[in-house]
Homo-oligomer: A and B are copies of this chain.
Amino acid sequence: MEARRDVFQAIADPTRREIINILAHRSMNLNSVAENFDISRPAVSKHIKILNECGLVVIHKKGRERYCQANPASLIEVWEWANQYRAFWKEKLDALELLLKEEYKENIEKK
C-alpha cells in the first residue's frame, strides 16, 4: 500500500470522500471517524494516513488521541483542475439550453 500519492488518487475512493465530508466542518478523533463506517478501525486509520499524506486531512495530537480535520487548501487543486474545463462546458451547455428554448418556443407558436 505505497506508491503514487496524489489528491486525485486519494479522492477516488468513496470511503475517503466520505471521511473528507465528515471532517470538513468539525474535528474528530480517529475512533469517532471509524464509528461512521462498517469497516475496521485500522482500515479507517490507513485511509486517514493517505488523506494526511497528500494534505487533505490535518492531524492534531492531543494526548493519546489524534484529532483529524479536513484541510480546505488541498482541495483547491481538484477544484482548479475541474474548473479549467468549466468555461468550455458552460459554453456548450448554454448553446444546448438555447436550442431547447427555441424548440419550445416553436412548439408553442404552432398551437
Q: Chain A interface (Cβ within 8 Å of chain B)?
A: 8-9, 11-12, 14, 17, 20, 24-25, 70, 72-73, 75-76, 78-79, 81-83, 85-86, 88-90, 92-93
Query: How far, in whole Å, are A76 and B82 apart by their CA atoms in the complex?
Result: 8
Query: How far, in whole Å, are A88 and B21 apart by their CA atoms in the complex?
Result: 12
- Known contacts A11-B8, A12-B8, A86 near B79 by CB under 8 Å: yes
When distances are taken between beta carbons in the complex, the residues of chain B under 8 Å from A82 are 75, 78-79, 82-83
> Residue of B at shortest CB range from A70?
B85
When distances are taken between beta carbons in the complex, the residues of chain B under 8 Å from A25 are 88
When distances are taken between beta carbons in the complex, the residues of chain B under 8 Å from A89 are 72-73, 75-76
User: How many monomers of this chain does the complex have?
Assistant: 2
Query: How far, in whole Å, are A76 and B88 apart by their CA atoms in the complex?
Result: 11
When distances are taken between beta carbons in the complex, the residues of chain B under 8 Å from A79 are 79, 82-83, 85-86
Q: Is A17 within 8 A of B88, CB to CB?
A: no
Q: In the complex, how many angstroms separate the beta carbon of A14 from the nearest chain B beta carbon?
A: 8
Q: Which 4 A-B pairs have the closest CB atoms?
A: A72-B89, A12-B12, A79-B82, A78-B82
